[in-house]
Structure 1
Amino acid sequence: MEMYDYLTKNFVIIGHRGLPEKYPENTEISFKNAFNYTDAVELDVHLSADGGVYIVHDFNLKRLTGNDINIENLNSSEIDRLNIKGFKIPRLDYILKTYHEKYFFIELKTIDDSGSMVYNNIVTKTLEIIKNTGMKDHVCVISFNPFSLREMHALDDSIMLGLDYCDLSEKYMGKLNSVDLRELEISVYIPEYKNDKIDCLIKLRSLGFIVIPWTVDNYVDAVKIKNAGLNGIITNRADVMASMLKL
């Protein structure tokens, strides 16, 4: 089943960085255990100094590894020696090859912690890995940065794209005009979930977009989203949500 069909056939639960309430986020063990409850996870990618694509959320690794250094300043061999609570920082190509039957939201981290855009080759490198692993039909490339999505679309217009959305992304959306947005051919909108904005999400869905809010960890909110006809949720609690929603 291709990604579009997977996201539109049934209400989907997507594991946010795997199953982070029980395992270290964005590690293989977190993804592997999330796949016991769902066929899809969201993950974040960064580029190493020598062009390796690694799965990790933060630009600076202090919170996760205790090392106060940005991942972009480390070579692959240096990153491979680090660990997050005993688990390696995985490479994107390894995860896609190992779990090739699963589905992935791959977030390009191209807006740093200060809200500034990051310029590197992560779009090109990520696309190479997606193609080389034969996973084009099992991924949706997402970002808060619409310029990164525009670059991906220019390189390969067959890749499904999703726009993460919150106040941070609004800063850059204002720099794009309506023509730019139409040309992106965004299929999925991934807004930060706010209970009082549900009508806006329903409107997006009525326009034909796939709408999957993040991060939804409350059962009542999940039911409200499902009953509103949206396509799914991104959650830190894929195990709990799958059980409670009986999916």
Structure 2
Amino acid sequence: MVKKIALNDNFINLKVAHRGLHSDKVSENSLNAYSLAVEKGFAIEIDIHLLKDGELAVVHDSNLKRLTGFDVVVEDLNSTDLSKYPLLIDGQDIPLFKDVLKLVNGKSPLLIELKVPNKFDHRLVDIMLEQLNDYPYTDKVACQSFNPFAVKYTKEKTDKYSVGFLCSYKLENQSKFRTYILKSLKLYKYMHADFISYDINYLPNKYVDKKRKKGVQVLTWTINTYEKLEKAKTCADNIIFEKIDV
């Protein structure tokens, strides 16, 4: 029996800074962006990718062109390669997951997105959980993913953390049928997910409304305008935001 773990107050009462508190001068998913989020008292959303050498890189995009100017795929790199591809905005290095844990050290809750650009590799979850074994702040960690197999596997591997399903009405590189199955939350029970994290552009909708009526918690992203902020108040339990004052 897979244990249900609701999001605790750390992820409901504290607004979640999308990829840290970044700006035109501070790179997203950088140690400086996380430090600023800690300083301001926000929870932090981060993204992790599996590297060739078994380390975890904290970066949103699989291809680093947008963030670094280099047309390389992060999953093809080793951890020692990351310093060759500094972030364009401020020259910071792409951090490793273990370095983020060391920096944050329980001062802010971490919402960890499991990035699965291709076929799900369970090592992504296994290594994350192994590194979290030395992180005592279990009440300040939650996970989420667009990939239903990643959600299901994580839930079956640990009962320490709340694990959510990320979704939108528009999903890249997915067939219309697969998109429908995912956006309509038909796999929610199969995944054993604890909460939903849904694109604000497609809220409210009947699929999420039905789950909320059953007590399922809902986060929404990405809140980057005050219009979206007002909308989120009526259809979600908390927000993942960027580039606005909340």
Smaller-chain TM-score bracket? 0.7 to 0.9
Which 5+ residue runs of structure 1 have no aligned equivalent? 243-247
Secondary structure (helix, strand or coil) at the match of 1:97 reads: helix
Alpha carbon RMSD of aligned pairs, Å?
A: 2.6
CA contact (8 A) 1:3 1:138 kept: no
Q: Is 1:50–2:56 an aligned residue pair?
A: no
Map 1:4-15 onto structure 2 (within 5 A).
4-8=8-12, 10=13, 12-15=14-17
* Equivalent residue for 2:70, pick from 52, 67, 70: 67
Residue in structure 1 matched with residue 94 of structure 2 by the alignment: 89
CA contact (8 A) 1:145 1:172 kept: no
* Equivalent residue for 1:233, pick from 227, 235, 239: 239
Instruction: Using structure 1 for the length normalisation, give the TM-score.
Output: 0.82
Which 5+ residue runs of structure 2 have no aligned equivalent? 1-5
Map 1:100-179 onto structure 2 (within 5 A).
100-101=105-106, 102-110=108-116, 112=117, 116-119=118-121, 121-166=123-168, 167-168=170-171, 171=178, 174=181
Q: 1:196 to 1:53 in 2, by over 3 A?
A: closer
CA contact (8 A) 2:122 2:150 kept: no
Cα deviations across residues 161-199 of structure 1 (Å, max 9, x unaligned)?
011101328827838xx9963253322211111266256
Instruction: Using structure 2 for the length normalisation, give the TM-score.
Output: 0.82
Cα deviations across residues 82-135 of structure 1 (Å, max 9, x unaligned)?
31031011111111122122111111111x2xxx43435111111111222224
Q: 1:196 to 1:119 in 2, by over 3 A?
A: closer
Q: 1:118 to 1:187 in 2, by over 3 A?
A: closer
Q: 1:105 to 1:78 in 2, by over 3 A?
A: same
Cα deviations across residues 223-246 of structure 1 (Å, max 9, x unaligned)?
2322x2631111112xx332xxxx
Residue in structure 1 matched with residue 31 of structure 2 by the alignment: 28
- Give the Cα–Cα distance (whole angstroms) in 2 for the partners of residues 199 and 219 of structure 1: 24
CA contact (8 A) 1:216 1:222 kept: yes
| One-letter amino acid of the structure 1 residue matched with residue 124 of structure 2 | I
- Give the Cα–Cα distance (whole angstroms) in 2 for the partners of residues 29 and 128 of structure 1: 25
Identity, in percent, stands at: 28
